[in-house]
Amino acid sequence: MSDSDLVLCERRGRACWLTLNRPDAANALSLPALKRLRVLLAEVATDGEIWAVVITGAGAKAFCAGADLKERRGFNEAQVKDFVATIRATMDEVAALPQPVIAALNGHAFGGGCELALACDLRVIDARAQIGLTETSLAIIPGAGGCARLPRLVGAAKAKEMILLARRMTATEAYACGLVNEISDEGAVVAAAERMAAALLRNGPLALRAAKAAVDGGLDLPMAQALQHEAACYRRIIPTEDRLEALQAFAEKRAPDFQGR
């Protein structure tokens, strides 16, 4: 398999689907796979024609098993440090995409696979899948954002439970604590993600970007500053053609025809 096949990129209308394509290795994140993913992320980030992104895995068993431990066994300490820096940067780049990102968890998501899901904005999980940050069972810790992002999503107590006990959650448990947004029927996560993407694409694409920026940028700010940041994000939308189109469509009782302008 060539490096370009390690992560597949497919345009489905205004949505871009990125598929981790190492099903025989549980879609583990090898260094070449990370490099390929980063190339695609850089392209997606600057493409104004892409209004939503979906990240999923090939096959039915795993979304992503995390770092490729077979590859890791051959690394010296310096190489391990470089790899951890690379996978952390990759997750940061996922989180920094201006478009809303859906993680379609077609199978188990452990370690770095869970961290990849955490870097996305929305998560839909197959009913059979499990998810967890299992690194402490390997005598390491989550190093690609898991220790920072998980408690912000589910609270510190639940995050410590998952991380310290290396606990694997069922889809039902993950939904109950707010880790995922939706559970799909068995084998139907792609269809569920397509419906979620379609719902996103019915909304103004520039508004989606501004809303994501308002939420993400305000999370760690004091309330007064978060409100100022929200106001700044709103001001970006006021002069857009899409805002005027939405008002016109409302008056004419029709669906708006957004153009991303």
Catalytic residues: 67, 112, 115, 135
From CA 105, how far away is CA 114, in angstroms rounded?
9
From CA 204, how far away is CA 92, in angstroms rounded?
25
Place of tokens 């190492």: 22
Contacts (Cβ under 8 Å, ≥6 apart) of 202: 255
Cα dihedral sign for 177, 111, 200, 151?
positive
Q: What angle do CA 88, 89, 95 make, to 5 degrees?
A: 95
Give the number of residues written for the chain: 261
Backbone torsion region of residue 105, taken as left when φ is above 0, otherwise alpha when ψ lies between -120 and 50, otherwise beta: beta
125 bridge partner residues: 105, 183
Which burial class, exposed, middle or buried, applies to 6 when counting CB atoms under 10 A from its CB (0-12, 13-18, 19+)?
buried
Other CB atoms within a 10 A radius of the CB of residue 74 amount to 7
3-state secondary structure at position 111: coil
